[in-house]
Amino acid sequence: MPDILKTDASVDGQKRVESFSFLLAAVFSVSLCAVFAGRCYYKLQPATIVLDTKINPNSADLASLEQLPSIGKSLGSAIIDYREDFEGAAFKRPQDLTNVRGIGVGKLAAISEYLRFD
């Protein structure tokens, strides 16, 4: 419809629709930003590990090893496989865990306070 034929009511209604659309888009954008910011924030927070007892890597099962920071199913299985080659006594001190592929100085530093060797 040409602008000359529009009435004041139709122009006013169109402005309301445009204003509502803008407001709706703004609210959606702010909500979306809040959701992603929250997700990023929680991913950056260090995990707090609370163990009742320290874990002995020479005898711990997979579920126990997975409680250690940065040790998932794959590394837990690698620890178990490595120690089985040494008949259960592969680790006499924390540094011995660096012989397991995937465990370096950084991972060792993250888990050493949760380990015991007896």
pLDDT for res 52: 74
CATH 1.25.40 fits 62-114, yes or no: no
- Residue ranges of E strands in the chain: none
What percent of the chain lies above the pLDDT cut of 70?
Answer: 64
Sequence length of the chain is 118
pLDDT at 48 over 90: no
100 near 75, Cβ under 8 Å?
A: yes
β-pair partners for 55: 115
pTM of the model: 0.57
Backbone angles phi, psi at 62, to 5 degrees: -60, -40
- Which of the residue ranges 25-29, 53-57, 69-73, 107-111 would you say has the lowest mean pLDDT? 25-29
Contacts 24+ apart (CB under 8 A), 49-55: 49/114, 51/114, 53/116, 54/114, 54/115, 54/116, 55/114, 55/115, 55/116
pLDDT at 8 over 60: no
pLDDT digits 0-9 by tens, 72-90: 999 999 999 999 987 766 8
